[in-house]
């Protein structure tokens, strides 16, 4: 049997695609797979095992927690944005220098966007040929759990469920009957039984878990999760199951030769600012890396605390997050809001998604307060109790603007509890909504000068031209700035 000490020395063999890996699935959401995954990541990494975390689907918050727990940047695997080849190559590429990959699923194992289970956790498991460890909420069930597991085993024979974790176990007899039933009838091992524990939770809000950066005791909480996993889960058996994963399929010949893309080297590298703090934290690492591969120099800006933008900035990227939660602090920092507005009026390229869209408007309105924002775009944002847009999107580029080629289609996703109000009828939109809600059910992507602001989140793998276009716009802006400076110098 593979042991923890052996696991820490595991290396992926050269020219081998037998990456040790597991998908963490569950019969339904809130079964405990996220807390189990976080505890597993911290437990393995604390014992010297290099673990690469992944999250199924377009999730920013869970990947942020994964990253802190494992000490390695977590990645998203999404069959809507990525081809089968891209999914498999992502798993291999990011795990080849690690010991094991852990892929956390979303919702129930077979829950997808249609009858076929498209974009489900099971689909990711099948595409990447990754075995599944099923986390089951054992509340008020014993022998019946075996019937449930057996159903999941036979629902799709191409999904290989290799083990079960019992969660919220009441007492020893509860565990004994459930464990024996599963191992007798389902012929798979129960690798762990986690007792009921009210402390095995992470606070959440309207869009899911709160972000890891908002809890001062983040590491203490993750360490506690790890202690529970180490005590109640057979980690050696978990590693053995991961090691049984077959070779990853769909690795292209090109990828085998060129396993990393060399970033472009530019003598005139444009400087792109990324607003990244507690209010704006929703960024895919692939988006950041795509800008770097295009030769951009990236600089972090904090809308909550920085009083001005860098003087040599050539473009600005404002991702999603929770500006409504930090609206008072954002309003208080008037100087940077005025700087952003002034630079945008002068032509600074700005790409803003969801929370960034809200920030560029006039105000954010909650149930009892109204907070001033940048005021660049002519609308207000009203917070609501229920989601106003949730799910995958498909946008058709509807008019000539500098960010996307006209009539192309852009895949994305949205998840917001806000809506745009008081928007003038003459506003120009860059997207026509073919799937999703966008700003008004028909349009998304407000265009103003070199600004593009939408509810739609995109992923650079699914929209590779985005980073190239942003860097092109930044270079054009930089060139115009220098021409303007030289003109003024010549006049003097």
Catalytic residues: 354
Count the Cβ atoms, other than its own, within 10 Å of residue 424.
7
Distances (CA, A) of 345 to 264, 375, 426: 30, 11, 18
| DSSP-derived secondary structure letter, 345 | H
Who's near 258: CB < 8 A, 6+ residues apart? none
Distances (CA, A) of 294 to 235, 299, 375: 41, 15, 31
Distances (CA, A) of 305 to 156, 212, 265, 487: 51, 19, 32, 35
Look at residue 428 and give its three-state secondary structure.
Answer: coil
CA distance 151 to 157: 10
Question: Is residue 88 within 8 Å of 248, Cβ to Cβ?
Answer: yes
- How far is C-alpha 454 from the chain's CA centre? 18
CA contacts within 13 A on the Cβ side of 43:
23
Residues 239, 60, 475, CA angle at the centre, nearest 5°?
A: 120
CA distance 192 to 232: 6
């Amino acid at each position: 049997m593979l042991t923890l000490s052996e696991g820490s020395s595991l290396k992926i063999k050269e020219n081998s695609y037998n990456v040790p890996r597991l998908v963490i699935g569950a019969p339904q959401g809130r079964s405990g797979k996220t807390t189990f995954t976080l505890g597993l990541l911290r437990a393995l990494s604390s014992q010297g095992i290099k673990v690469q975390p992944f999250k199924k689907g377009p999730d920013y918050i869970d990947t942020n927690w994964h990253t802190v727990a494992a000490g390695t940047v977590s990645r998203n695997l999404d069959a809507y944005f990525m081809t089968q080849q891209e999914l498999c190559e992502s798993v291999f590429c990011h795990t080849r220098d690690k010991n094991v990959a852990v892929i956390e699923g979303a919702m129930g194992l077979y829950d997808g966007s249609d009858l076929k289970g498209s974009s489900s956790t099971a689909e990711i498991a099948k595409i990447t040929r990754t075995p599944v460890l099923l986390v089951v909420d054992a509340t008020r069930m014993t022998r019946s759990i075996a019937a449930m597991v057996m159903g999941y085993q036979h629902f799709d024979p191409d999904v290989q469920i290799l083990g079960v974790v019992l969660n919220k176990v009441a007492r020893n007899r509860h565990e004994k009957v459930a464990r024996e039933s599963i191992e007798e009838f389902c012929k798979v091992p129960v690798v762990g039984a986690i007792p009921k524990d009210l402390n095995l939770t992470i606070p959440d809000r309207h869009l899911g878990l709160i972000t890891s950066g908002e809890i001062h005791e983040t590491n203490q909480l993750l360490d506690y999760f790890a202690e529970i996993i180490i005590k109640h889960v057979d980690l050696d058996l978990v590693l053995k199951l991961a090691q049984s994963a077959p070779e990853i399929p769909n690795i292209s010949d090109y990828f085998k030769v060129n396993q990393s893309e060399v970033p472009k080297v530019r003598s005139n590298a444009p400087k792109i600012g990324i607003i990244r703090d507690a209010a704006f934290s929703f960024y895919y690492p692939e988006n950041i890396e795509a800008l770097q591969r295009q030769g951009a120099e990236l600089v972090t800006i904090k809308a909550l605390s920085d009083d001005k933008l860098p003087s040599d900035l050539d473009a600005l990227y404002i991702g999603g997050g929770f500006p409504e939660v930090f609206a008072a602090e954002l309003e208080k920092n008037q100087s940077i809001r005025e700087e952003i507005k002034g630079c945008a009026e002068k032509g600074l390229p700005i790409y803003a998604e969801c929370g960034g869209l809200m920030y560029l408007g006039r105000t954010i309105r909650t149930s009892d307060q109204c907070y001033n924002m940048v005021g660049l775009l002519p609308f207000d944002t009203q917070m609501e109790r229920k989601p106003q847009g949730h799910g995958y999107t498909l946008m058709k580029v509807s008019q000539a603007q500098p960010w996307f080629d006209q009539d192309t289609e852009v895949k994305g996703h949205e998840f917001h509890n806000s809506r745009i109000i008081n928007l003038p009828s003459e506003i120009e939109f860059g997207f026509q909504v073919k799937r999703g809600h966008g700003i008004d059910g028909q349009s998304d992507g407000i265009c103003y000068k070199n600004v593009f602001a939408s509810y739609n989140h995109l992923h650079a793998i699914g929209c590779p031209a985005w980073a190239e276009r942003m860097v092109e716009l930044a270079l054009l802006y930089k060139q115009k700035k220098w021409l303007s400076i030289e003109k003024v110098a010549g006049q003097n």
